[in-house]
């Protein structure tokens, strides 16, 4: 007998027939003699709709009330799935975040899970009851509902698996595993049997939304065996695991893209000590995260151009903060550009092999794609290019690194 956490995303619970399909999959695990907890998302499109309602009422809304609204989607699906399981003769009970409770910090809209009190769940699960738990939500120190950031049900599932010391955490979704790149954009993308925690963490944080970044961090920390698989077809998925478990290591294991970034260039900034601190300090104070940065050497020793990226959602705020400080920062012009995409090549093999970055640059050059900003780390290279090249760049790089199926 094993203890298993199964998680189903929005498309997998997108209508009543799909919820019944999920119930059959859960029943199959129960029939194998396993103890099962299920985490579900809201039906597809519901959370987007709820977020949109909040924006329509107040563009800069209270984060506590945002959480009150957007957490409701999951309440519907836990109730419906519990009913569907009961219809199949399976004992099941729904659980909202506060009922478990799943305790988080107080960062409304992007809360972190701190502890999950599993006592009551475990008692019921060992008595044969399936626990159907709402993803994406928890209870904050202010005794109010919190949400975990978009895509957060993955994190709910992995955190629950860690707290329950589950044997497996199976993430069921609308693709049958983790691919070398987004299979919806590159038809030749190849499914990976296994991927390391580290590579999955980079893929997720660089834009592959198949798993929320925090869920991978949590899986890595607690060594949860996570499997990504399809809720529609019965084929083996992808196992996220330690590097030692992977025999054939690829040089490059995946390519990710993110359309969530925007670029800001400050033209003719005074080139003197303290300028970077004077620019990035106020941005940090305004809660704007800066990602890629390039600063050119000044020709005259007095002025330089500084380019960096921020989240697209933060572009207006960043522009406002910097415009207010134009006089003291002494730059000539601020040029915002949200027509960009960040493309990243990821692989643990890069640690020991040279030439990965060079191949990326030459491949993009052959397609006449101009690189605007570059950043690297031990296992990834990222470039910023104009957004219209997303598909072309992804396909060309995918072939160049020999990843095509």
3-state secondary structure of 35: strand
42 binds, among ligand ADP, Mg ion, ligand ASP, none (CB under 5 to 8 A by kind): ligand ASP
Distance CA(200)–CA(253), nearest Å, equals 9
- Please say which residue, 11 or 307, places its beta carbon nearer to ligand ADP: 11
The stretch among 9-17, 28-36, 135-143, 281-289 that binds Mg ion (CB under 5 A) is 9-17
How many Å separate Cα 367 from the centre of its chain?
Answer: 29
- The C-alpha atoms of residue 370 and residue 166 are separated, in whole angstroms, by 47
Site for Mg ion contains 237 (CB under 5 A)? no
CB of 132 to Mg ion, least distance (A): 18
* Total length of the chain: 405
Pattern of binders to ligand ADP over 144-173, x per CB under 6 A?
A: -------x---------------------x
Size of the site for ligand ADP (CB under 6 A): 20
Residue 372 interface partner, choices Mg ion, ligand ASP, ligand ADP, none, CB cut-off 5-8 Å depending on type: none
208 closest CA partner among 155, 241, 257? 257
Per CB under 6 A, which region of 148-156, 195-203, 220-228, 316-324 contacts ligand ASP?
Answer: 148-156
Decide: is 66 part of the binding site for ligand ASP (CB under 6 A). no
**Which entry of Mg ion, ligand ASP, ligand ADP, none binds 162, CB below 5 to 8 A by partner kind?**
none
Q: Are strands 92-95 and 137-139 parallel, antiparallel or unpaired?
A: unpaired
Give 16-25's long-range contacts (Cβ < 8 A, gap of 24+). Answer: 16/80, 18/231, 19/77, 19/80, 19/81, 19/84, 20/84, 20/87, 21/231, 21/232, 22/81, 22/84, 22/172, 22/231, 23/81, 23/84, 23/85, 23/87, 23/88, 23/90, 24/88, 25/172, 25/231
Q: Peptide bond before 101: cis, by omega within 30 degrees of 0?
A: yes
Instruction: State how far the alpha carbon of 52 is from the alpha carbons of 59, 63, 64, 73, 136, in Å.
Output: 10, 14, 16, 13, 17
Give whole-number Cα distances, 315 to 27, 62, 157, 265, 271, in Å: 47, 20, 32, 12, 24
The verdict on 41 binding ligand ASP (CB under 6 A) reads: yes
d(CA 218, CA 222) in angstroms, rounded, equals: 6
Determine if 151 is a binding residue for Mg ion (CB under 5 A). yes
Sole window of 39-47, 188-196, 362-370, 390-398 interacting with ligand ASP (rule: CB under 6 A): 39-47
Under 8 Å CB-to-CB from 272, ≥6 apart: which residues?
none
The kind and range of the H/E element at 318 are helix 315-324
The only residue of 73, 97, 140, 183 in contact with ligand ASP, by rule CB under 6 A = 73
Q: Between residue 22 and residue 41, which ones bind ligand ADP under the rule CB under 6 A?
A: 41
Exactly one of 10, 97, 140, 254 binds ligand ASP (CB under 6 A); which one? 10
97 makes contact with ligand ASP (CB under 6 A) = no
Quote the least distance from Cβ 151 to Mg ion, whole Å.
Answer: 4
Contact 289, 264 (CB under 8 A): no
Residue 136 binds ligand ASP (CB under 6 A): yes
Q: Which does 175 bind (CB under 5 to 8 A by kind): ligand ASP, Mg ion, ligand ADP, none?
A: ligand ADP
User: Binding partner of residue 174 among ligand ADP, Mg ion, ligand ASP, none, CB under 5 to 8 Å per kind?
Assistant: ligand ADP
Residue nearest to ligand ADP (CB): 9
The answer for residues whose C-beta is within 8 angstroms of residue 149's C-beta and 6 or more apart is: 109, 110, 111, 212, 214
CB atoms within 10 A of CB 129: 20
Distance, in Å, from the CA atom of 313 to the CA atom of 55, rounded to the nearest integer, reads: 13
Two structure tokens written together for 136: 């994406």
Q: Is 73 in the site for Mg ion (CB under 5 A)?
A: no
Q: Does 184 bind ligand ADP (CB under 6 A)?
A: yes
Of 150 and 222, nearer to ligand ASP (C-beta) is 150
> In the set 14, 97, 135, 347, which binds ligand ASP (CB under 6 A)?
135
Nearer to ligand ADP, 212 or 265 (CB): 212
Q: Does the protein bind ligand ADP through residue 174 (CB under 6 A)?
A: yes
Among 23, 38, 100, 208, binds ligand ADP (CB under 6 A): 208
Q: Which residues bind ligand ASP (CB under 6 A)?
A: 9-10, 41-42, 47, 73, 135-136, 150-154
Q: Which residues bind ligand ADP (CB under 6 A)?
A: 9-12, 41, 151, 173-175, 178-179, 181-184, 203, 208-210, 254
């Amino acid at each position: 007998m094993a203890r298993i956490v199964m998680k189903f995303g929005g498309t997998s619970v997108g209508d009543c027939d799909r919820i019944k399909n999920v119930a059959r999959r859960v029943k199959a695990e129960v029939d194998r003699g396993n103890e099962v907890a299920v985490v579900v998302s809201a039906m597809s499109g519901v959370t987007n709709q709820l977020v949109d309602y909040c924006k329509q009422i107040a563009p800069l809304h209270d984060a506590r009330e945002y959480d009150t609204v957007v957490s409701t989607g999951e309440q519907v699906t836990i109730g419906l799935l519990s009913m569907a399981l009961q219809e199949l003769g399976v004992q099941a009970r729904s659980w909202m975040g506060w009922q478990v409770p799943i305790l988080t910090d107080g960062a409304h809209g992007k809360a972190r899970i701190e502890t999950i009190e599993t006592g009551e769940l475990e008692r019921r699960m060992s008595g044969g009851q399936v626990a159907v738990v709402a993803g994406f939500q928890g209870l904050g120190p202010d005794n109010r509902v919190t949400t975990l950031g978009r895509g957060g049900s993955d994190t709910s599932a992995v955190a629950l698996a860690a707290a329950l010391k589950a044997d497996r955490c199976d993430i069921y979704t609308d693709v049958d595993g983790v691919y070398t790149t987004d299979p919806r954009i590159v038809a030749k993308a190849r499914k990976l049997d296994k991927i390391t925690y580290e590579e999955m963490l980079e893929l997720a944080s660089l834009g592959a939304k198949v798993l929320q970044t925090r869920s991978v961090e949590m899986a890595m920390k607690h060594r949860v065996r996570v499997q990504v698989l399809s809720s529609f077809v019965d084929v083996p998925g992808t196992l996220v695991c330690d590097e030692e478990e992977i025999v054939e290591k690829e040089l490059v294991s995946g390519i990710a893209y993110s359309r969530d970034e925007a670029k800001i260039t400050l033209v003719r900034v005074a080139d003197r000590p303290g300028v970077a601190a004077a620019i990035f300090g106020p941005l940090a104070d305004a809660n704007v995260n800066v990602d890629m940065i390039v600063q050119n050497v000044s020709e005259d020793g007095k002025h330089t151009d500084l380019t960096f990226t921020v989240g697209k959602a933060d572009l207006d705020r960043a522009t406002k903060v910097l415009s207010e400080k134009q006089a003291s920062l002494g730059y000539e012009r601020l040029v915002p550009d949200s027509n960009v995409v960040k493309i990243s090549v990821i692989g643990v093999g890069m640690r020991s092999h040279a030439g990965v970055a060079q191949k990326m640059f030459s491949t993009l050059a052959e397609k006449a794609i101009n690189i605007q900003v570059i950043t690297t780390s031990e296992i990834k290279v990222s470039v910023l290019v104009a957004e219209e090249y997303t598909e072309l760049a992804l396909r060309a790089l995918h072939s160049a690194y020999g990843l095509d199926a």
